[in-house]
Chains A and B, each alone.
Chain A
Amino acid sequence: MGILKLKRPTFIHAIKSTILTTLLKNKHKKNSITLTHNTIYVLPSTLGVYFTIVALLNFVMGINYQNNLILFMAYLMFVIIIFALLLGYSNAKGLTVSFKNTIESYAPQPPQLVWQIKSNDTCQSITLSYPNNLEQDCYIESVKADTIQCQLPLPYLKRGRYLLKPIKIASNYPFGLVSVWSYIQPDHTVYVYPSIIKTPNQKQSSQMTANDDEGAEKHLGDDEFESLITHLPEMGLQRVSWKHYAKTQQLLVKQFSDFKSVDTQFDFNLMTGDTEQRLGQLCYLVCQAFESDINYSLNLPNKSIENGSGKLHLQRCLQALSNVGADYE
């Protein structure tokens, strides 16, 4: 009675997923699901099947030896497996699983999904798992009315854009005899950004500026204080910082820089190496630009992104980088 783990051929997987999608319709395509009678599926687990087989063996032994005690044990086991099915169903009922957000990642780190789980009643031994990724799942011992947050890593380690597959919400409570499960499939796309590759030298990055050969040098302006410089006669006295004069008896001028005028463009074609390396470099540059709050635009083989800055812009650029080449998995 070894518990064999056979590798199923892919076509069986294909058939299974087709059947699943037709059967499940769109019941599970939600960002939040509360398990009820029409979204919970209950069957004996592998252990439960073995348990039933042992109960049957006991039954046969009891019948053949006309032994009431063995027979009684067999009946007891049958009743318990049915109780376990009921218990397992009641355990999962009322569980609410909500998709909160994704933690996107740079390859080869897996992205993670953040979930919020709560239950009206106590709900025990819940496992969230992603198809084909049974090793890394998210196990919760017990859920009560308080919301619990958990993170589920996805098996996506390569750069790309991925549509979420149905995520299995499963429980083997009680005794591991039954398998109670349901699915949730949030309508969401997950991006794995290119892995960051530090550009070899700063000069190369300065070549990328399209407008100005002086590269990433700051444009003088009046938006942001940059530094203090010595006063030169042609500057005029109105620019002297008198506060500093009062302190240091030196004539100093406040230098301001203007970011609006810095329009950096990162171009795929100016990078070196193969596609992945170029994307990695771009990824690094984009992140650097975000950190020093520079306006930048991105030019990719099939897409270009306008000038912009800020977190949303960064995300847009990174997602575009993830999406280069391959479209969907």
Chain B
Amino acid sequence: MNEIKNQRVINFSLSFIYLGLVSFFIEHLPLPFIIMLSVLCGWNIYLTLKHKQKPNAWLANGLAVVALIIMLSSIGFKDTVVLFVAMLLLSCVFKLLQAKTKQHYQLIITLTFFSLSAVYLFSQTIFTTLIISTLYILNFAVLGLLESSHSLKLSSKQSAKIIFLAFPLAVVLLIFLPKLPAFWQLPGPKMAQTGLSEQVDPFDIAKLSNSDELVFRAKFDDNSVSTPYYWRAIVHDEFDGKAWKTSSFLKQAMMLPTQNSSNGNTTQYSIIAEPAMADWLYGLGYASSNNENVVSNSVGLLRKKQYKSKVLQYSVSTKPLSTKKLNSVEQRFYKTLTVSNNQKSYQLAQQLKNSSANADELFNKLLDYFSQNSFSYTLTPTPMRGDDTLDQFMFNNKRGFCGHYASAAAFIFRSAGVPARVVSGYLGGEHNQNNDYITVRQYDAHAWVEVYTNAGWRIFDATAVVAPERLNGSLSQSAALNDEFKNNINFGLVSLSNYAAINWLRLELENLDYQWSSWVLGFDKNKQQDLLASLFGNTYVWLVPLGVIIVLILSFSAYFIYINRPKATTKQPPLVKEYYQILSWANKHTINYPENATPIQTLQHISQQAPYAEQQITAFCHLFEQVRYARQPFTKERKNQAKDLIKLIKSIKQRNL
């Protein structure tokens, strides 16, 4: 019972599954660890292919210790989720390398069901789902192989069949079972971070690493919001001479919940944010949200309440920035400059201040300054070092991206005694016509300045005058920067968007992904309640659990009947069915025939007793002889002929009666 019938195939398939699994973690686990896992899988495949013995316990245990050291040194203990996944993968791969008995393999396969699900913590795209589902079917097939000596193909077919049958029921459960709140809070995996960061320090970046990774999508209920869209995510209020940071004072201020004064004109829209490690969310202007998973704070920013490895959909109501008034303490806070470097920029600020009457005039003068002094926008700036990076940028290089302009402008405003802060987030987004939503990707990341003038907070974006096309739409749609942008971006469909067909394909895939995020990944408690209410009305919602139970019982009964259905008996040789039809016809008309005669003899006997059908029966006899004894092919014509003869025989009797 313990010997395994298909050990090679099982070994091979499991190694394959783990290779597939490892490939999903390339981005999230350190490279040495990934290489080590791949080598172990490869080794296992090699041993299997070459019919070699698995390594003995000493060698394997020694290797396991080495692997454990590699794992701990490359991953560390900081990120518990990644560490947990790494340990799971490592233990399974090692167990597989040593597995000999059926119990070993059963253990590995069971754990694989867990490892496969763990991939969804990191990635939930349609592509991932397809691959992982295939691996699930394969894993089930391997489980089946442990019990039988079928081929992998047959076993896969069986496992695909049972999963296919179970699929609709699982969907019903997912849709209708009440969504439970999280039992306890688990740490989230720390995913590779791209795009925004806690501090704006553009000067040592030589090349802005752009990725076309999706950040969020926004859907407006009406068209009341006009471009440009400045999606605010982080406010940086403290300049340390090089970088703009978020001060601890502001961090504390952001802990305070916002006073929900619902006066003024607000705009409503909803945002579907992709899972990300950072806790910031996105909104326009002074945003607030009623979503239970979202915290709105006093600076008008949105934050996640806790980590969720899923898409978060929330609705936002936005008020214009200018509605928020600062008191004198706050005004002083936003004027603070603790450093005294970048003297040239400071002097420029003083000049501008002296020549303008108020903050608004200064605002315009600085914009003019940027537009008239041959500044240019680039994604590949020259790195700057030293204590006076702002001066280098303002007076020597004059080439930079949003971060440079925002840092410099905010510094100049503060030097001139105007409250200002750097804000980072995303600008614009790609508008999708079909579903009327906006897609914002990592390459739309942007930084700008908010200045407090007499009219309240205003957005100051020097990029607007340096590269005006950057303001409207996404970077991918901006023609002037297109080439530079495409050189910069990783290979992807976006970089091929010049070709109409590919662009069409890209937008269609985009659309599909939107539906996926919105309906599958974003299907939460609220959506469930809405759906149930729309299906059954509010009064009968309590019936839903009962309905689910009934559906389950009915489905299981149906399945039970299905598997117990009478199986089709083995296929009869040709004309046997027709022969029995004649016999039953003879029985019906009380024509006796000998029990133990050959079919031809029986037929002849019948035809003698029923002379009125003799002709037809003889014809049938001929047919029978031809097909069954003379090995003539049983063509469609012969089949039809037989059918017609039977019909004739039956009808003749009726006429005679």
Same complex: yes
Q: Which residues of A come within 8 Å of B, CB atoms?
A: 1-3, 47, 50-51, 54-55, 57-58, 60-80, 82-84, 86-87, 90, 93, 121-122, 124-125, 127, 129, 134, 137, 139, 141, 172-177
Q: Which residues of B contact A173 (CB under 8 A)?
A: 147-148
Q: How far is the CA of A28 from the CA of B368 in the complex (A)?
A: 99
| CB neighbors of A among B117-162 (8 A) | 117-118, 120-121, 124, 129, 136, 140, 143-144, 146-149, 158-159, 162
Q: Is the CB of A50 within 8 A of B110?
A: yes
Q: Is the CB of A86 within 8 A of B560?
A: yes
Q: Is the CB of A76 within 8 A of B106?
A: no
Q: Which residues of B contact A134 (CB under 8 A)?
A: 1
Closest 9 CB pairs of A and B: A65-B309, A75-B170, A79-B166, A76-B170, A75-B173, A3-B103, A69-B120, A64-B182, A175-B143
In the assembled complex, the CB of A183 is this many whole angstroms from the nearest CB of chain B, namely: 18
Q: Which residues of B contact A83 (CB under 8 A)?
A: 162, 165-166, 556, 559
**Contacts beyond the supplied A61-B118, A74-B117: 5 A-B pairs with Cβ under 8 Å:** A47-B106, A57-B114, A65-B310, A66-B182, A69-B124
Q: Is B491 among interface residues, defined by CB-CB distance under 8 A? A: no
Q: Is the CB of A174 within 8 A of B147?
A: yes
Q: Which residues of A contact B77 (CB under 8 A)?
A: none
In the assembled complex, the CB of B107 is this many whole angstroms from the nearest CB of chain A, namely: 6
Which residue of chain B is the closest to A173 with respect to CB atoms?
B147
Q: How far is the CA of A60 from the CA of B118 in the complex (A)?
A: 12
Q: Is B338 among interface residues, defined by CB-CB distance under 8 A? A: no
User: Which of B106, B148, B567 is A121 in contact with, Cβ under 8 Å?
Assistant: B567
Q: Which residues of A contact B564 (CB under 8 A)?
A: 90, 93
Which residue of chain B is the closest to A72 with respect to CB atoms?
B174
Bits for B96-109, please: 1 = Cβ < 8 Å to A, else 0.
00000001001100
User: Which of B1, B307, B309 is A127 in contact with, Cβ under 8 Å?
Assistant: B1
Which residue of chain B is the closest to A1 with respect to CB atoms?
B107
Q: Which residues of B contact A121 (CB under 8 A)?
A: 567
Q: How far is the CA of A65 from the CA of B179 in the complex (A)?
A: 12
Q: Is B19 among interface residues, defined by CB-CB distance under 8 A? A: no
Which residue of chain B is the closest to A91 with respect to CB atoms?
B563
Q: How far is the CA of A64 from the CA of B143 in the complex (A)?
A: 28
Q: Is the CB of B556 within 8 A of A54?
A: no
Q: Is the CB of A79 within 8 A of B111?
A: no
Q: Name the residue among A54, A76, A172 with the largest chain B CB count within 10 angstroms.
A: A76
**With A69-B129, A173-B147 in contact, is A76–B110 under 8 Å at CB?**
no
Q: Give the interface segment out of B259-267, B294-302, B520-528, B619-627.
A: B520-528
Q: Is the CB of B166 within 8 A of A64?
A: no
Q: Which residues of B contact A57 (CB under 8 A)?
A: 114
Q: Is B185 among interface residues, defined by CB-CB distance under 8 A? A: yes
In the assembled complex, the CB of B569 is this many whole angstroms from the nearest CB of chain A, namely: 10
Q: Is B183 among interface residues, defined by CB-CB distance under 8 A? A: yes
Q: How far is the CA of A51 from the CA of B310 in the complex (A)?
A: 25
Bits for B177-221, please: 1 = Cβ < 8 Å to A, else 0.
101111111101000000000000000000000000000000000
User: Which of B113, B147, B308, B310 is A172 in contact with, Cβ under 8 Å?
Assistant: B147
| CB neighbors of A among B31-75 (8 A) | none
Q: Is B163 among interface residues, defined by CB-CB distance under 8 A? A: yes
Q: How far is the CA of A172 from the CA of B143 in the complex (A)?
A: 11
| CB neighbors of A among B383-437 (8 A) | none
Q: How far is the CA of A67 from the CA of B132 in the complex (A)?
A: 15
Q: Is the CB of A82 within 8 A of B556?
A: yes
User: Which of B103, B166, B520 is A76 in contact with, Cβ under 8 Å?
Assistant: B166
Q: How far is the CA of A212 from the CA of B158 in the complex (A)?
A: 75
Which residue of chain B is the closest to A79 with respect to CB atoms?
B166
Q: Is the CB of A141 within 8 A of B149?
A: yes
Q: Which residues of B contact A70 (CB under 8 A)?
A: 117, 120-121
Q: Is B617 among interface residues, defined by CB-CB distance under 8 A? A: no
Q: How far is the CA of A100 from the CA of B516 in the complex (A)?
A: 61
**With A80-B166, A87-B563, A175-B147 in contact, is A137–B1 under 8 Å at CB?**
yes
Q: Name the residue among A60, A71, A177 with the largest chain B CB count within 10 angstroms.
A: A71
Q: How far is the CA of A72 from the CA of B124 in the complex (A)?
A: 12
Q: Is the CB of B560 within 8 A of A1?
A: no
Q: Which residues of A contact B107 (CB under 8 A)?
A: 1-3, 50
Q: Is B321 among interface residues, defined by CB-CB distance under 8 A? A: no
Q: Which residues of A contact B580 (CB under 8 A)?
A: none
Q: Is B167 among interface residues, defined by CB-CB distance under 8 A? A: yes
Which residue of chain A is the closest to B520 with respect to CB atoms?
A68
Q: List 28 A-B contacts (CB under 8 A).
A: A1-B110, A3-B103, A3-B106, A47-B106, A47-B110, A50-B110, A51-B110, A54-B111, A61-B117, A62-B117, A63-B181, A64-B186, A65-B121, A65-B310, A68-B523, A72-B171, A73-B116, A75-B169, A76-B166, A76-B167, A82-B556, A83-B556, A84-B162, A90-B560, A125-B148, A173-B147, A174-B147, A175-B147
Q: How far is the CA of A282 from the CA of B527 in the complex (A)?
A: 87
Q: How far is the CA of A66 from the CA of B311 in the complex (A)?
A: 9
Q: Is the CB of A80 within 8 A of B162?
A: yes
Q: How far is the CA of A50 from the CA of B559 in the complex (A)?
A: 24
User: Which of A3, A47, A63, A80 is B180 in contact with, Cβ under 8 Å?
Assistant: A63
In the assembled complex, the CB of A44 is this many whole angstroms from the nearest CB of chain B, namely: 12
Q: Which residues of A contact B556 (CB under 8 A)?
A: 82-83, 86
**With A68-B520, A125-B148 in contact, is A79–B169 under 8 Å at CB?**
yes
Q: Is the CB of B183 within 8 A of A60?
A: yes
Q: Which residues of A contact B136 (CB under 8 A)?
A: 73
Q: How far is the CA of A137 from the CA of B166 in the complex (A)?
A: 34
Q: Which residues of B contact A137 (CB under 8 A)?
A: 1
Q: Is the CB of B1 within 8 A of A124?
A: no
User: Which of A2, A79, A139, A174 is B1 in contact with, Cβ under 8 Å?
Assistant: A139
Q: Is the CB of B173 within 8 A of A141?
A: no
Q: Which residues of A contact B124 (CB under 8 A)?
A: 67, 69
Q: Which residues of B contact A124 (CB under 8 A)?
A: 148
Q: How far is the CA of A73 from the CA of B520 in the complex (A)?
A: 13
Q: How far is the CA of A69 from the CA of B24 in the complex (A)?
A: 16
Q: Name the residue among B120, B162, B183, B308 with the largest chain A CB count within 10 angstroms.
A: B120
**With A57-B114, A65-B309 in contact, is A176–B106 under 8 Å at CB?**
yes
Which residue of chain A is the closest to B141 with respect to CB atoms?
A175
Q: Which residues of B contact A71 (CB under 8 A)?
A: 174
In the assembled complex, the CB of B543 is this many whole angstroms from the nearest CB of chain A, namely: 20
Q: Which residues of A contact B523 (CB under 8 A)?
A: 68
**With A51-B113, A79-B173, A174-B144 in contact, is A67–B120 under 8 Å at CB?**
yes
**With A86-B559, A125-B147 in contact, is A67–B173 under 8 Å at CB?**
no
Q: How far is the CA of A83 from the CA of B124 in the complex (A)?
A: 27
Q: Which residues of A contact B149 (CB under 8 A)?
A: 141
Q: Is the CB of A72 within 8 A of B170?
A: yes
Q: Which residues of B contact A82 (CB under 8 A)?
A: 556
Q: Which residues of A contact B163 (CB under 8 A)?
A: 76, 80
Q: How far is the CA of A11 from the CA of B496 in the complex (A)?
A: 75
User: Which of A2, A50, A66, A174 is B308 in contact with, Cβ under 8 Å?
Assistant: A66
Q: Is the CB of B563 within 8 A of A86?
A: yes
Q: Which residues of A contact B158 (CB under 8 A)?
A: 174
Q: Which residues of A contact B171 (CB under 8 A)?
A: 72
Q: Is the CB of B140 within 8 A of A68?
A: no
Q: Name the residue among A3, A70, A127 with the largest chain B CB count within 10 angstroms.
A: A70
Q: Is the CB of A58 within 8 A of B563?
A: no
Q: Which residues of B contact A55 (CB under 8 A)?
A: 113
In the assembled complex, the CB of B88 is this many whole angstroms from the nearest CB of chain A, namely: 11
Q: Is the CB of B147 within 8 A of A64?
A: no
User: Which of B114, B144, B167, B521 is A175 in contact with, Cβ under 8 Å?
Assistant: B144
Q: How far is the CA of A3 from the CA of B106 in the complex (A)?
A: 9
Q: Which residues of A contact B144 (CB under 8 A)?
A: 174-175
Which residue of chain A is the closest to B112 with respect to CB atoms?
A54
Q: How far is the CA of A75 from the CA of B173 in the complex (A)?
A: 7
Q: How far is the CA of A141 from the CA of B6 in the complex (A)?
A: 14
| CB neighbors of A among B426-459 (8 A) | none
**With A3-B106, A75-B174, A83-B166 in contact, is A65–B560 under 8 Å at CB?**
no
